[in-house]
Amino acid sequence: MIDGKILIVSTPQTSEEIERYYDLRWRILRAPWDQPRKAISDELENDSIPLMVCEVDGIPIGVGRVNFNSAEEAQIHSMAVEKDWRGKGIGSIVLKELEKIVTEKGAKKIILHARDNAVAFYEEHGYKIVKESYTLFGVIPHFLMEKIV
């Protein structure tokens, strides 16, 4: 419960839940840079485990996903939190739940590519910068980060 509201952590199952999950990802991670809706999916989508945090109405307020690069290494992608919910712990809930999936499946290391404005968030959760990685849309620097679990 946050701000007196009951929250539900789940994997999107129905077509409506899946659409809401992708919509939040697109609105936060792609729409501000005029990217089309199809730009939200990538080649790892089918091998990823998606997760969302919702209010009881089923509307996602935070999302993320994880895939396994190997039995030892997992990768977190596409973390996004609804603007009105930022700074209230939603990102931490998503991240901890994704990390729980990783440890349950036996991986020992998690990597991710963090936007420059999210580096401090991941550092607070035990991730370390490995190196600069890429610049998205020519304007958003990313850093490869890792955490041993």
Q: Note the pLDDT tens digit of each residue in 9-65.
A: 999 999 999 999 999 999 999 999 999 888 787 888 889 999 999 988 889 999 999
Q: Is residue 82 part of a domain?
A: yes
Q: Residue 114 sits in a domain of what CATH number?
A: 3.40.630.30
Q: Is residue 65 part of a domain?
A: yes
Mean pLDDT score of the chain: 93
**Domain with 13 in it:** 7-148
Q: How confident is the model at residue 6 (pLDDT cuts 50, 70, 90)?
A: confident
Tell me, what's the pLDDT at 43? 80
Count of CB atoms situated within 10 Å of the CB of 35 = 14
Q: How many domains does the chain have?
A: 1
Q: Helix, strand, or coil here: 38?
A: helix
Q: Is residue 1 part of a domain?
A: no
Tell me, what's the pLDDT at 1? 60
Q: Is residue 2 part of a domain?
A: no
Count of CB atoms situated within 10 Å of the CB of 101 = 17
Alpha-carbon dihedral sign for residues 121, 125, 126, 132: negative
Measured CA to CA, the distance from residue 21 to residue 58 in angstroms comes to 10
Q: Is residue 78 part of a domain?
A: yes
Tell me, what's the pLDDT at 64? 98
Q: How confident is the model at residue 95 (pLDDT cuts 50, 70, 90)?
A: very high
